[in-house]
């Protein structure tokens, strides 16, 4: 039996959503930051671990999303 995570079937974000004031929990491999929003991983451009960022969702895939930073506090 395959265990399918509900976040895979119904990500909590859509393309164009603006997510505000999220902490970057880790750094990615491509000069991006990793945000966990409602249990869903989103890679956000141009930020670092520890930043508090606002971003726009640019792409949503089954297991993760990609966002573009619009603000860092």
Confidence grade of residue 8 (pLDDT, cut at 50, 70, 90) = low
- With pLDDT > 70 as the criterion, what percentage of the chain qualifies? 86
Q: So what's the pLDDT on residue 71?
A: 74
Q: So what's the pLDDT on residue 23?
A: 97
| For residue 37, pLDDT beyond 90 | yes
Q: So what's the pLDDT on residue 5?
A: 52
Q: So what's the pLDDT on residue 57?
A: 98
Instruction: State the sign of the Cα–Cα–Cα–Cα dihedral 56, 51, 11, 58.
Output: positive
Which domains are seen in the chain, by residue range?
A: 6-72 (2.40.50.140)
């Amino acid at each position: 039996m395959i265990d399918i995570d509900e976040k895979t079937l119904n990500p909590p974000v859509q393309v164009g959503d603006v997510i505000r004031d999220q902490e970057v929990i880790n750094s990615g491999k491509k000069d991006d930051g990793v945000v966990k929003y409602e249990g869903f991983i989103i890679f956000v451009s141009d930020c670092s671990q520890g930043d508090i960022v606002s971003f726009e969702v640019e792409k949503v895939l089954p297991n993760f999303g990609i966002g573009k930073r619009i603000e860092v506090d």
